[in-house]
């Protein structure tokens, strides 16, 4: 498979920050187009660093990263193919919901009418069509995160990078948003890279989990999650689901034990 046939290819990637901290080492991971891949690993193992480099917001100090066959910086400059969602919704408080979602489209240019139509389409998709004129302060945390997701989707990214987007939400809201995200992913045919600490979340969402070792982050193992989509709530009690959770937890624990005894 050539590089352009992969959504992302991390090849022997290393990152040493200016402070001397080594965040990643020899990190290699190919991601096929249309996959849903989670990065699962202990705090500080370099998950966010890997995501930022894929977005072109930070640069690796070793190895290379290709996104649809190009460098992330080239993609960032030339297109809106990469969308980013952070743990905080990061909405502009003085802009209404619709205006927040229209912002990236406005920055890109195009007709106001078309931009508005697209913003409404994605807000409908995340279940917020009745809140177009609300301000962020009038929304719950889960609703604000939906706006943030809608804003990322408005530019129709081919690759969506999500850095612990549901970490600050209560468990029920988190589960609802997980289901909604999977529906959107399937409908829009995107590739998703999703950072999480949460083993259950990683198994529920992913077609593949990249388990990372503690800092400097390396790839410990890749777990293919062979559970059919669409995935609904019942799957969480399915015996295969439970054994994937055990497998991922064990891989994480083994790495921590190795570090403590090694
Ligand atoms: N801008 C920076 N300058 C210097 N060091 C940094 C910078 N960003 C991250 N680091 C360090 O790099 C390491 C990896 O950080 P990173 O945020 O990528 O980890 P993470 O796995 O996403 O952590 P968490 O799960 O806690 O969010 C950490 O030791 C962190 O302190």
**For residue 190, pLDDT beyond 60:** yes
pLDDT of residue 196: 94
Alpha carbons 110 and 96: distance in angstroms, whole number: 20
Per-residue tokens: 69? 């066959």
**For residue 259, pLDDT beyond 70:** no
Asked if the bond preceding 216 is cis, omega within 30° of 0, the reply is yes
pLDDT of residue 43: 87
Ligand 1 atom nearest 17 alpha carbon: 4
**For residue 1, pLDDT beyond 70:** no
Alpha carbons 211 and 248: distance in angstroms, whole number: 7
Alpha carbons 22 and 83: distance in angstroms, whole number: 26
At 118, is the pLDDT very low, low, confident or very high (cuts 50, 70, 90)? very high
Q: Give distance in angstroms: CA of 21 to centre of ligand 1.
A: 9
Q: In angstroms, how far apart are the furthest CA atoms of the chain?
A: 62
Pairing of strands 82-85, 159-163: parallel
Per-residue tokens: 78? 């030339």
Residue found under tokens 């990078």 = 161
Q: Give distance in angstroms: CA of 113 to centre of ligand 1.
A: 41
Entry pTM: 0.92
Question: Going by CA atoms, what residue is nearest to atom 14 of ligand 1?
Answer: 46
pLDDT of residue 79: 79
At 151, is the pLDDT very low, low, confident or very high (cuts 50, 70, 90)? very high
Closest CA to 9 of 185, 193, 211: 193
Question: Going by CA atoms, what residue is nearest to atom 29 of ligand 1?
Answer: 44
- Average predicted confidence (pLDDT) for the chain: 91
Q: Give distance in angstroms: CA of 68 to centre of ligand 1.
A: 26
Q: Give per-residue pLDDT as tens, 155-168.
A: 889 999 999 998 88
What are the angstrom distances between the C-alpha of 229 and each of 10, 187, 220, 242, 245?
A: 26, 12, 26, 16, 17
pLDDT of residue 63: 97
Q: Give per-residue pLDDT as tens, 47-90.
A: 999 999 999 999 999 999 999 999 999 988 877 789 999 888 89
Pick the CATH number of 3-81+157-233 from 3.40.710.10, 3.30.465.10, 3.40.50.300, 2.40.50.360: 3.40.50.300
Strand partners, 70: 67
pLDDT of residue 156: 86
pLDDT of residue 214: 83
Q: Give distance in angstroms: CA of 254 to centre of ligand 1.
A: 22
Q: Give per-residue pLDDT as tens, 228-238.
A: 999 999 999 99
Structural contact between residues 103 and 136, judged by C-beta atoms closer than 8 angstroms: no
Alpha carbons 119 and 112: distance in angstroms, whole number: 10
Per-residue tokens: 71? 């460098």
Ligand 1 atom nearest 164 alpha carbon: 27
Return the domain boundaries, the chain: 3-81+157-233, 91-156
- Whether 46 is in the pocket of ligand 1, judged by its Cβ within 6 Å, is yes
Percentage of residues of the chain with pLDDT beyond 90: 69
Q: Give distance in angstroms: CA of 48 to centre of ligand 1.
A: 7
The best mutation among 10, 21, 216 to test binding of ligand 1, ranked by most ligand atoms within 8 Å of the C-beta, falls on: 21
Q: Give distance in angstroms: CA of 75 to centre of ligand 1.
A: 24
Taking residues 184-192, report their average pLDDT.
91
- Whether 215 is in the pocket of ligand 1, judged by its Cβ within 6 Å, is yes
**For residue 21, pLDDT beyond 60:** yes
pLDDT of residue 113: 94
pLDDT of residue 169: 84
At 216, is the pLDDT very low, low, confident or very high (cuts 50, 70, 90)? confident
Taking residues 195-200, report their average pLDDT.
94
Phi and psi at 91, nearest 5°, equal -90, 155
Q: Give per-residue pLDDT as tens, 120-139.
A: 999 998 889 999 999 999 99
Q: Give distance in angstroms: CA of 239 to centre of ligand 1.
A: 35
**For residue 257, pLDDT beyond 80:** no
């Amino acid at each position: 498979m050539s590089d352009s046939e992969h959504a992302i290819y991390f090849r022997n990637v290393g990152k040493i920050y200016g402070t001397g901290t080594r965040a990643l080492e020899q990190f290699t991971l190919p991601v096929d187009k249309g996959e849903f891949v989670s990065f699962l690993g202990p705090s500080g193992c370099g998950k966010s660093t890997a995501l930022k480099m894929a977005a072109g917001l930070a640069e690796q100090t070793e190895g290379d990263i290709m996104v649809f066959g190009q460098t992330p910086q080239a993609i960032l400059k030339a297109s809106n193919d990469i969308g980013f969602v952070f743990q905080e919704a990061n909405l502009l408080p003085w802009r209404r919901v619709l205006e927040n979602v229209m912002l990236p489209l406005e920055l890109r240019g195009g007709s106001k009418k078309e931009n508005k139509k697209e913003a409404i389409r994605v807000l409908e998709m995340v279940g917020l069509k009745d809140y177009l004129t609300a301000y962020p302060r009038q929304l719950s945390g889960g609703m604000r995160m939906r706006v943030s997701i809608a804003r990322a989707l408005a530019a129709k990214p081919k690759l969506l990078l999500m850095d612990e987007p549901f970490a600050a939400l209560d468990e029920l809201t988190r589960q609802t948003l997980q289901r909604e995200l999977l529906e959107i992913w399937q409908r829009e045919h995107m590739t998703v890279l999703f950072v999480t600490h949460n083993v259950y979340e990683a198994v529920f969402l992913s077609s593949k989990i990249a388990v990372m070792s503690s800092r400097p982050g390396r790839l410990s193992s890749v777990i293919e999650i062979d559970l059919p989509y669409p995935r609904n709530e019942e799957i969480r009690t399915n015996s295969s689901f439970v054994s994937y959770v055990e497998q991922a937890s064990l891989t994480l624990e083994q790495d921590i034990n190795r570090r403590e005894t090694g």
